[in-house]
Amino acid sequence: MKIIADENIPFVREAFAGFGDVLTVPGRKITPGMVRSADILLVRSVTKADRNLLKNSRLKFVATATTGTDHIDLDYLRREGIGFSNAAGSNANSVAEYVFAALFDLALRFGWTLSDKTLGVIGVGHIGSKVAARARSLGMAVLENDPPLKRETGDPRFLPLKEVLLNADILTWHVPLTFGGIDKTFHLMDAKKLACLKSGSVLINTSRGPVVDNAALKEKLKKAGLQPVVLDVWENEPHIDSELLSLVTIGTPHTAGYSFDAKVNGTRMIYDAVCKFLGREPAWRPEKLVPPPAVPELIIRAGEKRDEEIIQNIIQKVYAIREDDRRLRKITALPEAERGAYFDALRRDYPVRREFSNTRIKLENGRDSVVKKLWALGFRVSA
């Protein structure tokens, strides 16, 4: 059996070697010629697995080590009888932690108290539901929008998008990218909807770049002055708009879901899916291969500092979101022809980032409110 795999899927050789020959390739360089003789194809979001790539192949199974599937032609796979699986929810913790790393960074910078803010969550699936739950545990009011879930459940907590846009102080998107139908999300946030936002609203997009009309957002920021905007995803990746990057508060290279835990979880999930498809018992497990956390424990003397300051100090020791921002901004100094490769390199060579649950916090003189918030964010806490 021959397997073609994106080289940036962690431990892909170790996991799949028992199935046959594993050829690892940069995701953007997987070609129809490579795929033609393969039985299994393992990709990430940078590989467009459509008819052009897959036709005239003998593929039996395609898997993506990502939650999103907008890069996969699911209709073609169904027509050709090719099995498929994604890693739904594999990076949910990672993205949620990114959102709150950004929020605590902004809270400290602008002097906010997060419990005074209303968070609008657009898309309440694997990731959005985690973000909403943690926000509530932090004392934030939460407004949720998810039309498919509203139709399915009838739950009144799912509000119309316009109502959320008009009333939320902070908006965060966690929707799939879809190009048609009643739940189309391509340019869900266009110029008209951007004009509906409360003055000074905070925008966070970690879903897919085209969910927000980047040109419209850029014009809004240029005309209305800077407001807090956090973008992890961009239209036309890896060839992002450097002018838009210069206008946002935090910009990162599509790495919100790139905790090492999330990436390894994605490998495990697609491995299990291939085992199920082939009728095999799973034998590979990654636990012994995962490196120990760089920050297993922190001793924090809380003192009289504000909750936001204490928590931001802890978060940035575990995940310094500003470092991701700093590295991406170097792209503007490069010749235009080199920027796409640099963006991809930032993703390929992303440093190991472990999730909050791998760090124990010993909090000295800490208020109960701080302890509660740290637990809500996923840290392990002891007094």
For the annotated catalytic residues, the residue numbers are 208, 237, 254
- For 95, the token pair is 């993205």
Q: Which of 259, 355, 289, 346 is nearest to 11 (CA)?
A: 289
Phi, psi of 327 (to 5 degrees): -65, -40
Mention every residue, 6+ apart, whose C-beta is less than 8 A from residue 11.
Answer: 264, 267, 286, 289
C-alpha to C-alpha distances, 131 to 97, 207, 343, nearest whole angstrom: 8, 13, 27
Round to whole Å and give the CA distance between 370 and 105.
Answer: 16
Angle between helices 260-278 and 92-110 (to 10 degrees): 160
Which residues in the chain belong to E strands, given as ranges? 2-6, 21-25, 40-43, 61-64, 83-86, 118-122, 141-145, 170-173, 202-205, 229-231, 250-251, 297-301, 360-364, 380-382
